[in-house]
Structure 1
Amino acid sequence: MLARLVFALIGGFGIIFALSASAAGQGRDDGIRVTAAVSAFGKTRPVRRAKRSRKRRQSTPERQAKHYGVLGKDDRIYPGPRHNQIVGSVGVLLNREARSICTAFCISPDTIVSAAHCVFKVKKKRRLDLAKSRFVLPGRYISETLAGDTHQEVLNGILAGSRTRHTTIKTFLTDWMIVKLSRPACWDSLPVVVRKAAEIRKAADEKRLLLAGFHGDRLKGGLLISPGCGVASWNDRKLITRRLRRSLRGRESLLLHDCDAYKGASGAPLMISEADGYKVIGVNVGNIVKRQEWRRGNKLIRRQITGKINVAALASRFSRQAEWMKSARLVVKKQRIARLQSLLSRAGFKPGPADGVIGPRTSTAIKAYERGHNLPQTGQPSLALFRQLAPGEDDSGAQID
């Protein structure tokens, strides 16, 4: 009998209302679990065949929570008076038609941050119409749509680290996005800061590291705080294989943490409590699960989870972009984007066809123009860029702060 150690990657904590717990996973916001990463062979040992009369254990909410991202004892609590800044800043990115929900948080009155897979990794049959997505701040009874009248217009205004549909541990590095709202809707905001690894470890040792989000198993209860979080090392052999560690470049931009989380906590802010308030140091994006499997030939006999840790993308990946987006004015209308693409082509860049869509080629062309004119390299269709390319033209289609 062959004992096989399988390290399975589960990306994200999205929640689907209609799927059963056995089918819903953290891989995408529509609940499809993405497994497969690095495997290593262990020692062989005999395995007893399970009796046919043995009853299958029924899944309970507690068992489901343990399966996803609740590590050890469930330490999640409801916010208190000291968490008013968090209650006024952390909300839900909701799309009822796609039956998906993620956590998002405010960085300015009309700008939010979340995990990119909440938008870009929805199954095709559950196509996400971003024009019908809303940011809801339950703690203050506030709800607002995203900037743009159509799906494509909203998409044009999203600044994301990655727009890939695939989920691997490498995509965790770019699993963040910054979105403008149609109107200011945030009661409060959370500053995004970059902290060194030593500072984060010190905060964890002092029980000042916490996660705030919405969780599918306790969604009706509202916002939950996971306080006193700890951190783990990429050199921990109980959690990370040598092969996985070597294959991941830029892992210093990912933080392994044990904050309790569940489906729906994708995009939740990982924060440090400081004297002047709470500071966001990362975005919760998923977890890594270590499984031990016993097989007889190609038949799976038994599977057991032997290790698990949650993952956050650190603010060093998106802090500059977040600071720029807080005061940015974006051009999102399709006609204006098409005009912008024509102007870029005339200026000697290659944005692709003038189709009114901000794709990879258009984003690359914008970055090249920004680099040559000493502008922040964002790849976004900003009003400042439009005015430089076409001074004096009408500003209609701009999303104004």
Structure 2
Amino acid sequence: MATKPFYNQPCARIFAGLLAAVTMASWASVNAQVNQVDTKSQTAAPPKFIKAQDAGQFKIQGTGKPFQPSGLASSEKPYDKTRAIIRSDDRIPMISRKYPWSAIGRIVGESTDGSPYTCTGTLIAENIVLTNSHCVIDPQTHQLSKKVTFLPNVINRELQDDNDVALAEKVLYGTDFTNDKITNQTNDWALIQLNKPIGRKYGYLGWKSLPSSTLIKNQKKFIFVGYSGDFPNPKKSGYDFLSAGPGWTASFQEGCSILRDEQNILLHDCDTTSGSSGGPIIGVINGQPYIVALNNAEFKRRDGSAVVNLAVKIDVLDRLSREN
């Protein structure tokens, strides 16, 4: 994470070259991992892509309030009491099938050249998943993905029900990465309309667009969940039961912070890496889980070490839900 001198720099110095070095964390090969998931059994035409200015073609049924199905138990922690792994790493495996963790899943996409990639997404309505634009559009080529699949609550490469794997029918995206870097960053959000209303079974999270001052004031109060490409390591002591390897079980981090707001971009210290793009930064408000920001990128030093992570504000969801 970033050092104190970095955060003490004036805004102009922080952003001088920062966005040029931003790493969009999902567009990397996942090698053979993706091939071991039976997503090819479902065939479908490429999803219909809709620009933000044409949002009227995309209906959002969600109201911003969380939904827990009546038959689905809830848990404040992402693990069963009988199997918790808490080490020096800030992240622990999300191995709970209970709500709200049930509403978070792994996105497996296929780019135009056929190469696979992964991201994280969260149900915010019975058939709507929130993620990043760069999880459905290649920022370098500006090409739209040929196929986008959502695997809800996958743990150690296992699903509750293989029939719940859902395909994207429509995608509403905030940017195609042809604008300036600030505009691309602040609009790096996307909504995926699924071909199945699996949120009725898995539930969905609410969202709250809070002022940056409120987010920053609540230090070490937020939760981050993402299917990170470096986590979990089954060779680590106590993780041997997660034999599917990195990226196939989500990581959970409690106590991370929104550090500041720079040019409408949120800087945060949650632990992230490839695959965690689109992961929700969650605040528990009046006992209910709400997405308060959307992880999307990291700023690295020249040696490759992370300095700070970036997140997208979610006030766009308020606007879109009002328009619907």
Q: Same-fold call, TM > 0.5?
A: yes
Q: Secondary structure at the match of 2:208?
A: coil
Q: Secondary structure at the match of 1:320?
A: helix
Amino acid of the structure 2 residue aligned with 1:178: L
Show the counterpart of 1:259.
Answer: 270
Q: Secondary structure at the match of 2:292?
A: strand
Q: Secondary structure at the match of 2:298?
A: strand
Show the counterpart of 2:209.
Answer: 194
Determine which of 190, 193, 207 is the counterpart of 1:180.
Answer: 193
Query: CA-to-partner distance for each residue in 1:340-363, whole Å, 9 max, x for gaps?
Result: xxxxxxxxxxxxxxxxxxxxxxxx
Higher RCO (CA 8 Å, separation ≥ 6 residues): 2
Q: Distance in 2 between matches of 1:174 and 1:6?
A: 19
Q: Distance in 2 between matches of 1:167 and 1:17?
A: 29
Would the aligned equivalents of 2:138 and 2:145 in 1 still touch at CA under 8 Å?
A: no
Q: Distance in 1 between matches of 2:207 and 2:223?
A: 14
Show the counterpart of 2:250.
Answer: 223
Q: Distance in 2 between matches of 1:159 and 1:175?
A: 11
Q: Secondary structure at the match of 2:105?
A: strand
TM-aligned CA deviation for residue 127 of structure 1 = 6.9
Amino acid of the structure 2 residue aligned with 1:188: G
Show the counterpart of 2:300.
Answer: 289
Instruction: Give the 5 Å matches for 1:338-377.
Output: 376=323
Q: Distance in 2 between matches of 1:175 and 1:124?
A: 15
Would the aligned equivalents of 1:266 and 1:286 in 2 still touch at CA under 8 Å?
A: yes
Would the aligned equivalents of 2:227 and 2:247 in 1 still touch at CA under 8 Å?
A: no
TM-aligned CA deviation for residue 315 of structure 1 = 1.1
Amino acid of the structure 1 residue aligned with 2:92: I
Amino acid of the structure 2 residue aligned with 1:113: L
Q: Distance in 1 between matches of 2:133 and 2:190?
A: 5
CA RMSD of aligned residues (A): 2.9
The 1:74/1:199 distance shift into structure 2, 3 A limit, reads same
Structure with the higher fraction of residues in helix conformation:
1
Aligned length: 226
Normalising by structure 2, we get a TM-score of: 0.62
Would the aligned equivalents of 1:121 and 1:166 in 2 still touch at CA under 8 Å?
A: no
Q: Secondary structure at the match of 1:85?
A: coil
Normalising by structure 1, we get a TM-score of: 0.51
TM-aligned CA deviation for residue 312 of structure 1 = 0.5
From the CA coordinates, give the structure whose radius of gyration is larger.
1
TM-aligned CA deviation for residue 230 of structure 1 = 2.1
The 1:217/1:307 distance shift into structure 2, 3 A limit, reads closer
Instruction: Give the 5 Å matches for 1:22-37.
Output: none
Q: Distance in 2 between matches of 1:216 and 1:307?
A: 15
Show the counterpart of 1:51.
Answer: none
1:9 aligned onto 2:21: yes
Would the aligned equivalents of 1:115 and 1:267 in 2 still touch at CA under 8 Å?
A: yes
Show the counterpart of 1:84.
Answer: 98
Show the counterpart of 2:73.
Answer: none
Would the aligned equivalents of 1:103 and 1:266 in 2 still touch at CA under 8 Å?
A: yes
Show the counterpart of 2:317.
Answer: 318
The 1:167/1:216 distance shift into structure 2, 3 A limit, reads farther
Instruction: Give the 5 Å matches for 1:121-160.
Output: 121=138, 128-130=145-147, 133-137=148-152, 138=154, 140-141=160-161, 142-147=164-169, 157-160=170-173
- Structure 1 regions of 5+ residues with no counterpart? 20-72, 148-156, 235-244, 246-250, 292-303, 325-375, 379-401
Query: CA-to-partner distance for each residue in 1:15-38, whole Å, 9 max, x for gaps?
Result: 41239xxxxxxxxxxxxxxxxxxx
1:162 aligned onto 2:211: no
Would the aligned equivalents of 1:106 and 1:189 in 2 still touch at CA under 8 Å?
A: yes
The 1:174/1:18 distance shift into structure 2, 3 A limit, reads same
Determine which of 80, 86, 99 is the counterpart of 2:116.
Answer: 99
The 1:158/1:126 distance shift into structure 2, 3 A limit, reads closer
Show the counterpart of 2:287.
Answer: 276
